[in-house]
Amino acid sequence: MRQEIEITGLNKSFGQGASAFHALSDIDLSIGSGEFFTLLGPSGCGKTTLLRIIAGFEEPSTGVLKVNGKDVTGLGPSKRPINTVFQSYALFPHMSVADNIGFGLKMLGKPKSEIKATVAEMLQLVRMEAMADRLPSEISGGQQQRVALARALAPRPRVLLLDEPLSALDLKLRKEMQSELKRLQSETGITFVFVTHDQEEALTMSDRIAVMSAGEILQLGPPEDIYNAPVNRFVADFIGDTNFLTLRVKGIENGEAVLELPGGKQASARLPNSISPPVGARVTAVIRPEQAEPTAAGQGDMQAVVEAATFFGTDTHLHLLLDDAQGFVLRRQNRPDQPAPAPGAKLGLSFAPGALRVLED
């Protein structure tokens, strides 16, 4: 895949000397052409700063940024083939929807006929034909979102940056816009760089995700890898729900760790290549709540007592207490013929093969 964005050795600090704040540390990142790429992390992790550097609103302290092979590090935002969808939408309040969408083309000096044709095309693309003459204040939040998208897409940028564009929408509208964004991206073939703190949004939409924390990229990969094989405790905790178990290593077999479970049984756990804990050491192992199966009491890999049950509609989260007093959350799909066990009930747990994984601490 051809690289659309290449970032090498990028650092960004605000302020000087001892009070300087390092917003980004040694970022190296390549984003492929036509990719839906997501920067995911909690607020303050540097993802928005990175986006603003790509857009040209901030200058990096050190490092190089290339777009389509061309060094754009010193160029202002108006000189980059990149457009942004702002978190607040930033629609020009005194301009009609059509004038907003045509603004970029007008500033590029395109002929009026071309602007008109492209605006019409964009209005159709985001299904806002009927609203062309309205002012931004006269349309709903979801519609403003579509106009902001159309405005950023109209000049046909190489890269579209989206700064938490869905955070102001309610849940139903957000789901709609998620699929809308995916559709727009595949129809236009433009590289999307999407910033969000919503891990579910990131998992459902992205081709690749960069999980960020404290100005660093912790893990970079497709959503499945990030979810199934988080590299450390932060990623495992931030993406999805996770059970953390502290377990003793009994041995190493075929590159997998054999761990002693609460209650005395053994289970093998995947080991990252980077670590090989000695026999007898205590390690942190993780398992997703939906990757364990409830069984009859006395059967399975571990025994547990139900402490509480939380109903979520499609499934119920069972808060369990294991034999050695560690907590465990089990996600159990709801079925009308099998009511969820009540608090105090005893049950067994069995793991899907490969579900248990040792974490680097």
Partner 1 sequence: MRGHGWKWLLCTPALIVLLLAASGPLLIVAVYSFLSPGNMGGVSWEFTLDAWFRVFFRRDIFEPDLVEWNTAHLQVFWRSIWLSLQTTFICAFLGFPTAWFIATRPRHTRTIWLFLITIPFWTNLLIRTFAIQEMIRNNGTINAVLMWTGVIDSPIQMMFTEFAVLLGMAYVFLPLMVLPLYAAMEKMDFSLVEAGYDLYASRLNVLWHVILPQVKPGFIAGSILVFIPAIGAYVTPRILGGGRTMMLGNLIALQFGQGRNWPLGAALALLMLVVVVGALIFYLRVVGRNDEVRRG
Reported as type and span, the H/E element at residue 348 is strand 346-351
Contact by Cβ (8 Å): 98, 133:
yes
Least Cα distance to 82 among 50, 105, 56 occurs for 56
Our finding on whether 90 is near partner 1 (CB under 8 A) is yes
Our finding on whether 118 is near partner 1 (CB under 8 A) is no
Phi, psi of 25 (to 5 degrees): -125, 120
Q: Which of 38, 48, 84, 206: binder of partner 1 (CB under 8 A)?
A: 84
Instruction: Tell me whether residue 107 or residue 281 sits nearer to partner 1 (CB atom).
Output: 107
Whether the CA torsion 196, 197, 201, 207 is positive or negative: it is positive
Instruction: Choose the binding region for partner 1 from 41-49, 53-61, 202-210, 219-227 (rule: CB under 8 A).
Output: 53-61
Each residue 171-210 as x (binds partner 1 by CB under 8 A) or -, in order, gives: ----------------------------------------
Amino acid at 241: D
Our finding on whether 57 is near partner 1 (CB under 8 A) is yes
Each residue 6-45 as x (binds partner 1 by CB under 8 A) or -, in order, gives: ----------------------------------------
Instruction: Choose the binding region for partner 1 from 8-16, 83-91, 203-211, 322-330 (rule: CB under 8 A).
Output: 83-91
Number of residues that bind partner 1 (CB under 8 A): 28
Our finding on whether 155 is near partner 1 (CB under 8 A) is yes
Instruction: Tell me whether residue 38 or residue 48 sits nearer to partner 1 (CB atom).
Output: 48
Contact by Cβ (8 Å): 249, 277:
yes
- Three-state SS at 142: helix
Q: What distances in angstroms separate CA 48 from CA 146, 197, 248, 317, one per listed residue?
A: 21, 10, 40, 34
Burial pattern 7-20, b for ≥16 Cβ within 10 A else e, equals beebebeeeeeeee
Q: Give me the residues that bind partner 1 (CB under 8 A), please.
A: 55-57, 76-78, 82-84, 86-88, 90-96, 103-104, 107-108, 133, 135, 151-152, 155
